[in-house]
Structure formats: structure tokens, C-alpha cells
Chains A and B, each alone.
Chain A
Amino acid sequence: MVTFNNDIEVLNYALTLEHFENALYKALIGLNILTGTEASYLATFGQHEAAHVTALTQTIASLGGKPVAAQESYNLPKISDRTTLLTTIQTVEDVGASAYLGAAGFIQNKDLLEAAVNIHNIEAEHAAVWRFTLGMPSAPDTVAKGRTPDEVLAIVTPFLQASTASQADRNSTTGSNTTTTTTAPAPVPAPTVVAPAPSSFIPRRLGQG
């Protein structure tokens, strides 16, 4: 069972997911499938994910931890039509929201907790909009359910698996978030140093992201 020993590990877990979301948005934008309002949502929400990556990376570093890096490639699904694209991004955003909710209870620092709840809200808002475009209920549960890290990893691991072509390159890169083809990736490398968060610093940092 995946668990967290400190706040930096939780933040690196979140950052692992944000890297993936960021890469997915960039790839989907590049497909030029969506048009009009939907295309503008894709661009805007992609910027939000990039901001989350920046904020989490800076915060982890400021706490003395080692921010997990983006993978050089992801095993993204092949998408060639609007409905598949929207369903894919909606699913990923719903999983992202549930991942933050399932991890919130592990966070010790209250400023970090508030920031994580806030990012969680944004993931849910993205998910709601994608659901709306698909004609699905935007808030399917009266009380949203969290997913444990194990449940989240079971869903996202296929996307985080290295493709055969890029595995050799990635293995030769020091410090990259390497995965193997036989086991689930360890999403949270152990931090080198754990420092307490200055109480007023973290929200400001995240707010700048």
C-alpha cells in the first residue's frame, strides 16, 4: 500500500499527477481537434495545470525536498475525435480531483492543506466543465469520493508506463522519474531534507504559480 511519510511525499505525488495532466493537455492542444469555446477551455485549463506544476515544484524545493521531474514521454492514448478527447480529459480531471481528496488527510501543514484543497477544487471545476460539454452530470455525487493513492496509481500507471522506444533514453537520464514495465512506478521519491514550512510563505508561493 502506498502511503506518505511527510508532506513533501504528498506534494510529489500530486506533482507526479500534475506533470501527467500538463503533458496530456499539451498533447491534446496539439491535436487541434477542439474548436471554439471548447478549444479555449483546453488552452486555459492547460495553463492552470502548468501553473500547478510550477507552484508544486517551487513549494517542494522551498521545503528542502526534491521535486519529481516530468517524464520525457507518457503513454498517452491515441485520440482522433472530439468525444474521445473530451472523455479522456474528463476522466483524468475526475481522477485528479479524487486523488487530491484521498490524499488531503495525510497533509500535516495547514497552509499546504489549504493549497491542496484549493488545487483540488480547480481539478473538480475542470472536470465539471468537461462533463458539461459531454452532456454528463457535472456533479455526479452529493459528496465527492476520494481515491486512495493505490486506487489512483492503478488507473494512471498505464499512462505513466514508459513506451518501449523511450525507455532506454529515460533510464540513462539521471534524476528522471523512471518507471519499469513490470511494476507500478514509485511516484514519490524520498525527499533528501524535510524542513518545516514557514507559515506565511507557502500560500504566497502557490498563489504566484
Chain B
Amino acid sequence: MEDRILNLVHTAMNRRTLLKGTIGAAAAASIVGNFVLTETETLAANLPDDLAILNFALTLEHLEARAYKDAIASGVITGAALGPVQAYGRQEAEHVALLTGAISQAGGKPVAEQASYKFPAFTAQQGTLEFLRTLEDVGVGAYTGAARFIQSKAILTVAGGIVQVEARHAAIIRLLSGVAPVPGPLDKVLTPDQTLAAAGPILG
């Protein structure tokens, strides 16, 4: 799995290796339409790079969606934490659907969910929330660190809209797990390599 992610990252980050011009204007218009944006920029030329970044994001969203699903199914999340965890799980699943649809419509091949992930056993609420907190922190750091590589303004706006939601999740999951909800004036940013180092062991 790690090799696959690494390939995605390198495809996204090393623009010189890309085969350009394979995606037409119709596909570009389609991805813009899907995001309900009105940008008239020329997406096509940069779309292969941005599709790789979207797939990188989708890989993390699959991971988050499954973790929330399993956490809820475990039954250990109760009380004040249950509502937010259920809501955030739904939103992660919606991020998966949105990114999958966008990548497909633009002519890319969306990465699939893995059959299994190396999650810890969800046997108590505190440990489960701490694991979700780690995932949300990685998600926020990963999107923030990837923003500089996104070529399309339309896709940047969508990625920004998603990272904002991840940040909101992170704040409340931190709060529910008993740590400061906003620990400092800036979040920790992860480069793609740092994201891989953090998420790799969980992806297996």
C-alpha cells in the first residue's frame, strides 16, 4: 500500500514526469461543474497533477471514513461524544463520495478503499477518541501541506473547504478526548512525506 501512495505523491509532486494533455476541456468543465464553481480557468493542462493530489486526499478520506464507521460500530462511543462522532463519520463518507465522483468525472481513476486497515482495537471510548484525534490531525496537516501543490483554483477551493471541515472535527475530537481543542495559533503542517510516515503504518 505504501508504494501505491508513494507513487501518487511522486506523480503529484514531480511534474516533470507527467504525461500532459491527456485530459480534455470537457472533463475539466465537468469537474468544475461537479464542485458547483464558476471558474473559467484552464484546468486541463494541470489536471493530471491535481488528480493525483485528490487521490492522495481520497486515500486519507477512505481511512478516516472506515475508522469512524468502525468506532461507531464498536459501541464504545457514548454520551456527548456520540453525536459528533456520528456526524463526522457521515461527513468523511461524503468526502469519499465527493472525491471519488470528481476524480472519475475528470477522467481519473479513484483509489479504492482498502479491504482492511491496521486500526487498534476500539475497546474503550478514550483510546478510540485518541486514535480518531490522530487521524484528524494527520488529515488537517496533510491537506494544509498539500495546498501548495494544487494548480487549479477550483480544486484548491474544494480542498480548502474540506480541510476546514477536518479542522472543525479535529478541534471537537481533541476537546472530547480531554486535550486543548485549539492548542496553538497554527496547526502542525505535514509534508506529503511526513503524511506518509504518519499514515503508512495504519494503511499497512
Contacts and interface: CB of A to CB of B under 8 A. Distances in A.
21 contacts: A101-B164, A117-B147, A117-B160, A118-B186, A120-B160, A121-B140, A121-B163, A124-B167, A125-B170, A125-B182, A128-B172, A129-B182, A138-B84, A138-B168, A138-B169, A139-B91, A139-B169, A142-B98, A144-B168, A146-B157, A209-B185
B94 interface: yes
Interface in B127-182: 140, 143-145, 147-148, 153, 156-158, 160-165, 167-172, 175, 180-182
Interface string B85-117: 001100100110010000000000000000000
Report which residue of B98, B158, B165, B167 has the largest number of chain A beta carbons within 10 angstroms of its beta carbon: B167
Contacts of B175: 129, 132
A171 B1 CA distance: 63
Contact of B167 (A47, A48, A125): A125
Contact of B186 (A113, A122, A124, A137): A122
Report which residue of A115, A127, A132, A137 has the largest number of chain B beta carbons within 10 angstroms of its beta carbon: A132
Tier of interface size on chain B: 35 or more
Report which residue of A117, A119, A139, A209 has the largest number of chain B beta carbons within 10 angstroms of its beta carbon: A117
B147 A127 contact: no
Q: Which 7 residue pairs across A and B have the least CB separation, nearest first?
A: A125-B171, A144-B164, A51-B185, A110-B148, A128-B168, A121-B167, A139-B168
A145 interface: yes
Interface string A90-102: 0000000100010
B189 interface: yes
Given A101-B160, A118-B187, A122-B182, 4 more contacts: A119-B185, A125-B187, A138-B168, A139-B87
B194 to A, nearest CB: 13
A74 B147 CA distance: 34
B204 to A, nearest CB: 28
Interface of B: 84, 87-88, 91, 94-95, 98, 140, 143-145, 147-148, 153, 156-158, 160-165, 167-172, 175, 180-182, 184-187, 189
A38 B87 CA distance: 23
Interface of A: 41, 44-45, 47-48, 51-52, 55, 97, 101, 104-105, 110-111, 113-115, 117-122, 124-129, 132, 137-139, 141-146, 206-207, 209
A47 B94 CA distance: 34
A209 B184 CA distance: 10
A143 B158 contact: yes
A41 B181 contact: yes
Contact of A132 (B95, B144, B163, B172): B172
A98 B37 CA distance: 16
